[in-house]
């Protein structure tokens, strides 16, 4: 197999926790060839989607852990699989890349996750497909509706729809003297849609990341426990990661969401669960492989590459 990674600059990888690097290590151990490019290196020309990609090999040397060959323009159809691992925000450039992926998929290229799924399954809005699994939720750009929701539920989390890692998340109560400026900032004076969710106090026990591979949950989640005084459990916001076996509720949530992920052709997703509630469905570049692998005997990267190999062997793949 020859696998192309579309990812952020390799120089910025934090190897001790990077999920994409864990995937690369597993692929290298199996003897598959790898190549690397950034999303900006995708091109449509002559009726085909092309990429300016370089061969990629790994090294045990630090910090020079990777080696790239010459960059060559080549068709995406020359790869067994294209793995999209660029981090959000899901901005217009991300959207354009997803559209190029869809064009390539129409010509037989296998992309994980597919362009259509990336467009259709917004990581925040995706939970609305499972109303029985979520806490009270409002999606709007209108400050008056947000104020009413905050008054009704007394303790509310506000989050943008296009970010990651706990960025720009606010916890708001009705008596907060900064409510007006927070709503103005979040909605950009009612020109940007945001999500409001009733605060879930179980966040103190961790924001659980449940990995779902080809519709099936990994047996351990990573509970991301907030710093003292912090609302966000995200590792990027300083949270501490603790691997835990799935609870019965965790497994129920994952097994409820799993078939829909398979139907939409999403090979890998990261479900965020706080307490008994589903809060996000991450499909762009789900993380937490490394932490679970280091704290348990589960080779999560191996499970994912098994699924990737199976999908590539299949004559038709939902994900591409």
For residue range 47-85, list pLDDT tens digits in order: 999 999 999 999 998 999 999 999 999 999 999 999 999
Q: What local confidence, expressed as pLDDT, does residue 223 receive? A: 95
Q: What local confidence, expressed as pLDDT, does residue 319 receive? A: 44
Q: What local confidence, expressed as pLDDT, does residue 88 receive? A: 86
Catalytic one of 86, 209, 264, 290: 209
* Catalytic status, residue 282: yes
The CATH superfamily assigned to 136-198 is: ATP-grasp fold, A domain (3.30.1490.20)
Instruction: Look up the pTM and report it.
Output: 0.90
Q: What local confidence, expressed as pLDDT, does residue 314 receive? A: 81
The CATH superfamily assigned to 203-299 is: ATP-grasp fold, B domain (3.30.470.20)
The CA distance from 175 to 179, in Å, is: 8
Catalytic one of 26, 105, 272, 291: 272
Q: How many CB atoms sit inside 10 A of residue 92's CB?
A: 8
Q: What local confidence, expressed as pLDDT, does residue 94 receive? A: 94
In this predicted model, which residue has the larger pLDDT, 237 or 18? 18
Q: What local confidence, expressed as pLDDT, does residue 89 receive? A: 85
- The rounded mean pLDDT for the chain is 93
pLDDT in tens, 216-275: 999 999 999 877 656 555 566 567 899 999 999 999 999 999 999 999 999 999 999 999
Catalytic one of 280, 290, 291, 319: 280
The CA distance from 123 to 209, in Å, is: 13
* Catalytic status, residue 124: yes
* Catalytic status, residue 232: yes
Domain boundaries, the chain: 2-114, 136-198, 203-299
Catalytic one of 224, 250, 290, 319: 224
Same fold, 2-114 and 136-198: no
Catalytic one of 159, 198, 208, 290: 159
Catalytic one of 85, 232, 264, 290: 232
Q: How many CB atoms sit inside 10 A of residue 313's CB?
A: 10
Question: How confident is residue 189, by pLDDT bands cut at 50, 70 and 90?
Answer: very high
Q: What local confidence, expressed as pLDDT, does residue 231 receive? A: 58
Catalytic one of 122, 214, 234, 282: 282
Q: What percent of the chain has pLDDT over 90?
A: 85
In this predicted model, which residue has the larger pLDDT, 146 or 62? 146
Domain 2-114 has CATH 3.40.50.20: yes
DSSP one-letter string for the chain: -EEEEE-S-GGG--TTT-HHHHHHHHHHHTT-EEEEE-GGGEEEETTEEEEEEEEEEE-SSSS--EEEEEEEEEEGGGSSEEEE-PPSP--HHHHHHHHHHHHHHHTT--EES-HHHHHH--TTGGGGG-GGGS-SEEEES-HHHHHHHHHHHSSEEEEESS--TTTT-EEE-TT-TTHHHHHHHHHTTTTS-EEEEE--GGGGG-EEEEEEETTEE-SEEEEEEPPTT-S---GGGTPEEEEEEPPHHHHHHHHHHHHHHHHTT-SEEEEEEETTEEEEEE-SS---HHHHHHHSS--HHHHHHHHHHHHHHSSS-TT-
Catalytic one of 86, 110, 124, 198: 124
Asked if residue 45 has pLDDT above 80, the reply is yes
How far from chain centre, in Å, is Cα 11?
A: 20
* Catalytic status, residue 250: no
* Catalytic status, residue 244: no
The CA distance from 156 to 179, in Å, is: 11
Question: How confident is residue 190, by pLDDT bands cut at 50, 70 and 90?
Answer: very high
């Amino acid at each position: 197999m020859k696998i192309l990674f579309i990812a952020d600059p390799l120089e910025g990888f934090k190897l001790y926790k990077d999920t994409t690097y864990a995937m690369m290590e597993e692929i290298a151990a199996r003897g598959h060839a790898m190549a690397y490019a950034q999303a900006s290196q995708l091109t449509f020309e002559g009726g085909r989607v092309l990429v300016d990609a370089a061969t990629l090999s790994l090294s045990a040397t630090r910090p020079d852990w990777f080696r790239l060959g010459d960059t060559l323009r080549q068709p995406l159809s020359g790869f067994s699989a294209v793995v999209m691992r660029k981090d959000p925000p899901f901005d217009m450039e991300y959207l354009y890349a997803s559209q190029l992926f869809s064009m390539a998929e129409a010509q037989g290229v296998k992309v994980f996750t597919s362009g259509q799924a990336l467009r259709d399954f917004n990581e925040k809005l995706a939970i609305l497909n499972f109303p029985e699994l979520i806490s009270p939720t409002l999606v709007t750009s209108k400050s008056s509706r947000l104020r009413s929701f905050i008054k009704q539920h007394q303790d509310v989390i506000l989050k943008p729809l296009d970010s990651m890692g706990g960025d720009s998340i606010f916890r708001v109560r009705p008596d907060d003297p900064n409510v007006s400026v927070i709503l103005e900032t979040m909605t950009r004076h009612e020109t940007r849609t945001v999500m409001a969710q009733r605060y879930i106090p179980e966040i103190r026990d961790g924001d659980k990341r449940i990995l779902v591979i080809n519709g099936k949950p990994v047996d351990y989640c990573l509970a991301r426990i907030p710093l003292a005084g912090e609302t966000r459990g995200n590792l990027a916001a300083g949270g501490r990661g603790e691997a835990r076996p799935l609870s019965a509720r965790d497994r129920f949530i994952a097994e409820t969401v799993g078939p829909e992920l398979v139907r939409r052709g999403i090979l890998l997703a990261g479900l965020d669960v706080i307490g008994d509630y589903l809060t996000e469905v991450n499909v762009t570049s789900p993380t937490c492989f490394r932490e679970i692998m280091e704290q348990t005997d589960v080779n999560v990267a191996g499970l994912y590459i098994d699924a990737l190999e199976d999908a590539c062997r299949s004559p038709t793949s939902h994900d591409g």
